[in-house]
A and B are shown apart, each in its own frame.
Chain A
Amino acid sequence: MRTLTAWIDQRVDLAGIRRTLLDRKMPGGLTWWHTLGSATLTVFMVQVTTGIVLAMYYAPSPDHARDSIRYLETTVASGALLRGIHHWGSSAMVVLVLAHMIRVFTMGAYKYPREINWLLGVGLLFIVLGFGFTGYLLPWDQKAYWATQVGTNIAGTTPFIGGALVKLLRGGSQLGAATLSRFFALHVLLLPVLLGLVVLLHLALVVRQGIAPRTAVLEAGAPERTSDPEYAGFYNGSYSRSKAGGVPFWPNIIAKDLIVAAVVVVTLFLLARFVGAGLEAPADPSDTSYVPRPEWYFLPFFQLLKLVPGSLEAAVAIGFPAAIVAALLVLPFVDRGSTRSLRRRPAAAGALVVVLGGASLLLGAAARDEPKGGGAAGLELGSAERSGRALFKRQQCGSCHLLAGETQEKKADAPDAPDLTEVGLKHSGAWIHSFLEDPARFHPDSKMPAFGPPTLSHQEIEELSRYLVTLRGPNGANRQPEFRDTFPEPVKPKE
């Protein structure tokens, strides 16, 4: 082993690589916030590892995509766990990239000489969001289908090129087989290569320029602006001094990085193990009652679109993301003050508060609007149940009964009727069937009309009851029904 190392060392100068990469001095007093970049890199490697194995069990075709994922989850050893890690890993990527970006912003680390690396980082953010958008479609379940329907339609509102853009994204005029193949190719071929290359550049620059030190180091005696001619000289002097009093990258900094990375990975593992990734009913383009929802990190934007009036929607849908991209790209060139501490940058602090506060408020509003697991959450509807749901609408059951998740408005003058959100936990299908036929038999003063023939056929009543028993409220798939069925005394024939 030692001779092998020596043999390679003679040829490629391992010691030199070690000096450049591992032994390099880092400025002293780096914070735990400085570990966010390496934590993101770790999760990226986790995503690559889990993604390669997931791809082996995945068929990018509407006929088989969801079946292949079911197969992975039910048949393949550790399959569900692996998919869970990948699922939560995507959220972790977004969270960590944003947190890393906020760290760089608050410490003014995008300023001289790291403007290029800021731009590369902005690119990485959008590549990561691209991963999230393309990956979300792949399970080809209801959630995937409808979120992508909305997502691609937003692109379609772009002025002039919208029509062409939406067809380009979908690989045709309809969301379908071509879209799925296209998103799969982007997700597993183009984006990983792109992200890998930009990450390499990003890291190469970090090694070349050194990590940004604590803000105080670069503030004492600094010229007013980073564009001043003497700023470069000041910077080099201060930075070398901070490195002289610093610590080597290995093991001092790497240990810290790995501690944070390990905490992140353990969290991912626990989320995958105990929450999992979820898989909804197969995509059903004819089901117009489904309320589309994007992945949570797109929710603030989604919520914003709900708030603007229809006439402005197209402008906001395209203008808002474009404005964010533009603001991020010009930031290091507009902000050339040499002050780095956020305390002495009121404008930057204000912008950060507005952006983070606004996003949190929108996210909160979106969470409040979330359909409360109404409908048949988590349970797959067969054809009988689906006809039952259609009957529920046609008979306007929702004009008296409340059913969370269904959009129908309750009429103001309608009589009070029981909330049906969790009716499937309370009554059996048989009980519901006979109740629908003639409610007065159960409650003599019931205001509910009888739906027995000729209003509805026995077949239709059965379909309606079968739909109603699937209503179990939020998290219904995990709850056990406790039936409280009481049947009226059979009517005795008169003597």
Chain B
Amino acid sequence: MGCFPAFVPDSHLPFHRPSDAVHSTSSANLALGSEMAETIIEDVGELETPLGRRGFLRWVSGACAAVIAALVGVPAVRALLAPATAKPLTDAWIKVADDTALLDIGTPVRLDFVQNQADAWIDGRAMNSVWLYTEDGDTFKAYNGHCTHLGCGYVYDKDRKTFICPCHRGQFDVKTGAVLAGPPPRPLDELPVQVRDAAVYVKYHDFRLGVPERVEA
């Protein structure tokens, strides 16, 4: 184990002594090896070390306790903290609309989609949504469907022509995603968009909510 041997070489005392020199073992205890072990401890007691007998035993206790704590504590803490450093899921292009011709011009539209996503040990499917906006039918803007404040799903207000989050009345500009009013700390999270063969693809990603910078979730 290593607690003892580190110390023994310093001592010039024999490791084994006749047991009667240490203490009388008249009783019939079945301590196999206890004599030797006690010899060790008592020998150390007579050592002329700066530590002294009590100091040595304290040191042994501390070292053994540290070994126990490290062997169990380190794996436990590593497993406990593992999710904090988990890599974010890789993004993939997701088809959100089949034909650009079917999309309204000048009015944003919400598109829901289902994505295969491993949820820890469950092969799950995640449902997410994006808001898609176009002014000419060729170039598109896509916003992550979550409000950047606390993640509620926001809606389009036809009268005011803005996005409104029902939770805390945050408002966003439809064309840029900029915050117009309310508590959201940053503009809507704009996502990369691609049009291929008239179908619209979005690279969906969630970002950390409630903070002014756009950082990985």
Contact surface of A with B, Cβ cutoff 8 Å:
28-29, 31-33, 42, 46, 49-50, 52-53, 56-57, 59, 64, 67-68, 70-72, 76-79, 81-82, 85, 106-107, 214-217, 251-252, 254-256, 258-259, 261-263, 265-266, 268-269, 341-343
Contact = CB atoms under 8 A, between A and B. Distances in A.
A70 B118 CA distance: 14
Given A71-B121, A216-B26, A251-B57, A78 B78 contact: yes
Give chain A's interface secondary structure class. Answer: helix
B80 A56 contact: yes
Given A33-B30, A68-B121, A82-B79, A269 B71 contact: yes
Given A31-B29, A68-B121, A215-B29, A78 B79 contact: yes
B27 A50 contact: no
B3 interface: yes
Contacts of B28: 215-216, 341-343
A49 B69 CA distance: 10
Contacts, number: 130
B58 to A, nearest CB: 5
Interface in B122-139: 122
Contacts of B38: 29
A68, A77, A81 — which one has the most chain B CB atoms within 10 A of its CB? A77
Interface stretch (B7-15, B59-67, B99-107, B163-171): B59-67
A263 B1 contact: yes
Contacts of B120: 57, 68, 71
A52 B73 CA distance: 12
B3 A262 contact: yes
A342 B30 contact: yes
Given A106-B30, A255-B41, A255-B60, 4 more contacts: A29-B38, A71-B121, A79-B82, A342-B28
A214 B29 contact: yes
Contacts of A259: 1, 3-4, 60, 64
Contact of A46 (B57, B65, B72, B80): B72
Nearest to A272: B75
A81 B71 CA distance: 10
B76 interface: yes
B122 A76 contact: no
A134 to B, nearest CB: 21
A59 B68 CA distance: 29
B62 to A, nearest CB: 9
B74 interface: yes
B160 interface: no
Contacts of B58: 251, 255
Contacts of A342: 28, 30
A225 B57 CA distance: 39
Contacts of A49: 72-73, 76
B21 interface: no
A33 B35 CA distance: 12
B60 A78 contact: no
Interface residues of B, number: 39
B76 A261 contact: no
Contacts of B61: 251, 254-255, 258
Contacts of B26: 216
A392 B76 CA distance: 45
A32 B34 contact: yes
Interface in B24-72: 25-34, 37-38, 41, 54, 57-58, 60-61, 64-65, 67-68, 71-72
The 8 closest A-B pairs by CB, nearest first: A216-B27, A31-B31, A78-B75, A262-B64, A71-B121, A258-B64, A251-B57, A255-B57
Contacts of B74: 78
Nearest to B66: A262
B64 A50 contact: no
A64 B3 contact: no
Given A31-B29, A214-B27, A341-B28, A53 B34 contact: no
A31 B29 CA distance: 8
Contacts of B23: 28-29
A49 B68 CA distance: 12
A236 to B, nearest CB: 20
Contacts of A252: 41, 57
B99 to A, nearest CB: 39
Contacts of A42: 68
